[in-house]
């Protein structure tokens, strides 16, 4: 099941009520209830007599299509509505529209005419089309006025959806509007489409001057001593065009900063204007600041006639030092999922391109087919996916707790998404002090210190994931994309061969959430305060040996990933619920120490001196020309030194490891050639 981007984080937006100067016509379907209101009518789709067309109700229709009916999205604020539930499942594309026609209304003395309505548009395939039409001769002829706004997969009510129909209706009598639905594009894809619903249809003449700030593009996190300029969007709710105005911001109710803007073009009724204020704000001290944004002096000295919607207020947190952000990427997938397989190239590409500043973990789910990894991790993975994030299909992804569909396309997961979230920075720093595996007890342990640079109430969650760097299957377990679904030479199907590795190898697989799926609840923070998180996990299953039909191995290396999540968020700062403030990652050293000091079949090498107080020599002998590299890792599994020698000739060689920048401690030297890898311990004592 595909997912959509729910909303842009940190662009703060608000919906405002409308103060209509003159109500021309209003219909909320409460009086007529189960039938069309007086003067309203419906048109059925010709050629599809089984389709009941538009209906009126406040409950689940008897003939609905089960859980996919748009009625599951009705809320107490929407009782009786007009709806179109596409339940006939017709399979022949039609150019006919199911249409709902309004009663007649008159606008002979109205210079501007706007329409407001609450809309629920379920664009299931991104191919359904809704149209607003206007007639000025009582319904004899119709003119399309607007395409109803929709986004792929939207199922929520879009209240107070506005349209400017002045060019069609202003100064006219015998006016009607109509709402048309067509699913021909969906049927061509083999789907019926879902439908739409409308409520609170309001035809009105707006005030002349009525503007409101609808968005402020500002991060919630600012730094002391840094200059910030603001920009955002303002909507013209009024009838008159705006050519000049003053944009203002006021910090903590102090003297406002006013910035004149002139020469504005095209800022007509129900259009938006992207504003910017050139005068910067430089916070002097840490704390929470309240900033109000508004416009005045419209077209000279005209005042805003509706003050209930003209101001947007945002709160920002100012800290002494913004910390570098490590973005948290959580992906949900299934080994037997065709869309998951096709999403993998994009996921892997984004993960690779953003690896220096993004930590990736991947959960496995049980739907739509078997997944051996999920069978081991279901008790934690299913709960986090279904209950915590409320998701019901794969592939899916949460980036810093914000939902993104992980495939290709506008608004989907991309490196740009990761970069934009990294740019926000963080009020936290996480230091992983230790990440260990004790072979005698088969126990993983991690200790981390969290330092805050801001003030936070108790209740944030520190979540820790233990992941397998790669789970590799020897045979394909997928029920949707088995071996024969791939093109020759692999199989006889149509899947391109290059997708086959994506049903065999699964990186960053979550093995456990620690100490549980609920994480560790943190106490309150003040600037400079710290808290320590310690977790342990006794290994509870032998991954490589359990499934004889689908053998796989994941014993080579693991990572701990810790992240700070806010279950509630902070709406006053634009921080959504489940937002992740910071993350950190460390390799479990067992992934290196478990490798024999001289691997079987590898090339023996010696370290001398060892221990050393500075440099050490790597001596070895090649029996043929090979590429050689030497890498040094610390106890956290972090690479701290590398020497890529390239192609070296056969014979005896010596490479110097410069230890001048390495502190005292235990390290691991990995010696790699074209066909082997060997590891030894190195002790530095200064």
Do 407 and 367 lie in one domain? The reply is: yes
Write down the pLDDT at residue 152.
66
Do 516 and 413 lie in one domain? The reply is: yes
- Domain-located, residue 8: no
| CA distance linking residue 475 with residue 386, whole number of Å | 29
- Domain-located, residue 133: yes
Q: DSSP character for 612?
A: B
Write down the pLDDT at residue 8.
31
For residue 601, the domain's CATH number is 2.60.40.1930
* C-alpha atoms less than 13 angstroms from C-alpha of 560 in its C-beta half-sphere: 31
- Domain-located, residue 493: yes
Do residues 242 and 267 make contact, with C-beta atoms less than 8 angstroms apart?
Answer: yes
SS3 267: coil
Write down the pLDDT at residue 2.
28
Angle between helices 415-423 and 338-353 (to 10 degrees): 50
Write down the pLDDT at residue 513.
95
Q: Which of 505, 637, 631 is nearest to 560 (CA)?
A: 637
SS3 67: helix
Do 413 and 441 lie in one domain? The reply is: yes
- Domain-located, residue 123: yes
Residue at a domain's end among 522, 557, 589: 589
Write down the pLDDT at residue 541.
64
Do 223 and 241 lie in one domain? The reply is: yes
Which run of H or of E encompasses 372? helix 372-382
SS3 3: coil
CA dihedral 527, 583, 667, 674 (to 10 degrees): -160
Running along the chain, 686 residues long, what does each successive block of 10 average in pLDDT? 28 42 92 95 57 72 43 63 67 64 97 94 76 95 92 75 96 96 66 77 96 94 97 96 98 97 97 97 97 97 87 96 97 94 92 92 93 87 92 91 79 89 97 88 92 97 93 85 93 92 91 94 98 92 51 64 97 94 87 39 75 84 87 81 87 84 85 83 83
- Domain-located, residue 431: yes
Do 577 and 630 lie in one domain? The reply is: no
For residue 390, what are the domain limits?
A: 338-589
For residue 346, the domain's CATH number is 2.60.40.10
Do 227 and 172 lie in one domain? The reply is: no
Burial of 70 (0-12, 13-18, 19+ CB in 10 A): buried
- Domain-located, residue 10: no
Do residues 233 and 293 make contact, with C-beta atoms less than 8 angstroms apart?
Answer: no
Write down the pLDDT at residue 375.
85
Residue at a domain's end among 561, 589, 617: 589
| Number of domains observed in the structure of the chain | 4
Do 291 and 427 lie in one domain? The reply is: no
SS3 356: helix
Do 375 and 520 lie in one domain? The reply is: yes
Which run of H or of E encompasses 509? strand 505-514
SS3 359: strand
Write down the pLDDT at residue 155.
67
Q: How many Å is the maximal CA-CA distance in the chain?
A: 98
SS3 357: helix
Write down the pLDDT at residue 253.
92
Do 277 and 360 lie in one domain? The reply is: no
Residue at a domain's end among 562, 589, 616: 589
Write down the pLDDT at residue 86.
61
Q: Which of 674, 665, 609 is nearest to 641 (CA)?
A: 665
- Domain-located, residue 13: no
Do 44 and 135 lie in one domain? The reply is: yes
- Domain-located, residue 327: no
For residue 29, the domain's CATH number is 2.60.120.200
Do 254 and 375 lie in one domain? The reply is: no
| Cα angle 557-558-561, degrees, rounded to a multiple of 5 | 155
DSSP E strands in 102-194: the ranges are: 114-122, 129-135, 143-147, 158-164, 176-182
Q: What Cα–Cα distance (Å) separates residue 7 from each residue in 4, 324, 397? A: 9, 24, 14
Do residues 595 and 681 make contact, with C-beta atoms less than 8 angstroms apart?
Answer: no
Write down the pLDDT at residue 459.
98
Do 275 and 304 lie in one domain? The reply is: yes
* Residues β-bridged to residue 630: 643, 671
């Amino acid at each position: 099941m595909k997912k959509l981007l729910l909303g842009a984080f940190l662009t703060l937006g608000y919906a405002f009520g409308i103060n209509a100067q003159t109500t021309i016509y209003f219909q909320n379907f409460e009086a007529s209830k189960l039938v069309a209101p007086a003067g309203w009518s419906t048109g059925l789709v010709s050629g599809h007599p089984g389709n009941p067309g538009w209906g009126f109700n406040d409950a689940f229709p008897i003939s609905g299509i089960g859980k996919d009916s748009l009625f599951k999205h009705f809320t107490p604020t929407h009782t009786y509505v007009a709806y179109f539930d596409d339940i006939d499942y017709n399979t022949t594309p039609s150019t006919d529209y199911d249409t709902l026609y309004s009663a007649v209304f008159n606008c002979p003395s109205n210079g501007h005419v706007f329409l407001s309505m609450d809309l629920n548009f379920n664009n299931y395939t991104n191919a359904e089309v809704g149209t607003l039409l206007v007639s000025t001769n009582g319904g004899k002829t119709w003119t399309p006025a607007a395409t109803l706004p929709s986004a792929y997969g939207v199922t929520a009510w879009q209240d107070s959806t506005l349209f400017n129909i002045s060019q069609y209706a202003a100064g006219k009598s015998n006016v009607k509007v109509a709402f048309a639905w067509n699913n021909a594009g969906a049927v061509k894809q083999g789907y019926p489409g879902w439908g739409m619903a409308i409520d609170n249809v309001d035809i009105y003449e707006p005030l002349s001057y009525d503007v409101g700030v609808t968005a402020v593009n500002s991060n919630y996190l600012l730094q002391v001593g840094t200059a910030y300029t603001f920009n955002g969007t303002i909507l013209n709710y009024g009838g008159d065009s705006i050519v000049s105005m003053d944009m203002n911001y006021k910090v903590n109710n102090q003297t406002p900063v006013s910035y004149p803007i002139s020469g504005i073009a095209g800022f007509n009724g129900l259009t938006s204007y992207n504003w910017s204020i050139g005068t910067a704000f430089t916070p002097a001290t840490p704390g929470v600041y309240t900033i109000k944004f508004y416009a005045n002096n419209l077209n000279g000295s005209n005042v805003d006639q509706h003050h209930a919607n003209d101001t947007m207020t945002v709160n920002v947190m100012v800290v002494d030092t913004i910390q570098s952000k490590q973005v948290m990427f959580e992906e949900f997938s299934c080994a037997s999922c065709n869309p998951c397989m096709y999403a993998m190239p994009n996921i892997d590409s984004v993960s690779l391109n953003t690896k220096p500043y993004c930590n990736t973990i991947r959960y496995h789910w049980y739907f739509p087919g078997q997944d051996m990894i999920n069978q081991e991790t279901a008790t934690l993975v299913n709960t986090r996916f279904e209950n915590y994030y409320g998701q019901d299909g794969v592939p899916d992804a949460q980036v810093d707790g914000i939902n993104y569909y992980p495939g290709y396309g506008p608004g989907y997961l991309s490196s740009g998404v990761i970069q934009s979230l990294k740019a926000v920075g963080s009020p936290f720093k996480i230091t992983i002090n230790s990440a260990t595996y004790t072979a005698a007890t088969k126990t993983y342990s991690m200790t981390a210190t969290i330092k805050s640079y801001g003030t936070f109430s108790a209740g944030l969650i520190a979540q820790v994931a233990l992941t397998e760097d790669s789970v590799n299957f020897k045979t394909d377990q997928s029920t949707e994309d088995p071996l024969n679904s791939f093109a020759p030479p692999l199989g006889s199907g149509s899947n391109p061969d290059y997708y086959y590795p994506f049903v065999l190898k699964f990186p960053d697989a979550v093995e456990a959430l620690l100490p549980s799926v609920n994480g560790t609840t943190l106490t309150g923070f003040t600037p400079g305060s710290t808290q320590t998180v310690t977790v342990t996990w006794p290994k509870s299953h032998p991954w490589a040996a359990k499934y004889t039909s689908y053998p796989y191995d994941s014993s080579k290396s693991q990572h701990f990933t810790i992240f700070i999540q806010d279950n509630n968020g902070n709406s006053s700062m634009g921080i959504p619920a489940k937002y992740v403030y910071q993350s950190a990652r460390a390799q479990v050293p067992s992934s290196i120490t478990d490798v024999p000091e001289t691997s079987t079949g590898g090339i023996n090498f010696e370290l001398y001196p060892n221990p050393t107080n500075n440099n050490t020599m790597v001596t070895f002998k090649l029996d043929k020309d090979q590429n050689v590299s030497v890498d040094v890792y610390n106890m956290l599994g972090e690479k701290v030194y590398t020497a890529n020698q390239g192609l070296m000739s056969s014979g005896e060689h010596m490479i110097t490891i410069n230890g001048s920048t390495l502190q005292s401690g235990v390290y691991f030297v990995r010696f790699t050639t074209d066909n082997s890898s060997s590891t030894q311990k190195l002790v530095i004592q200064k």
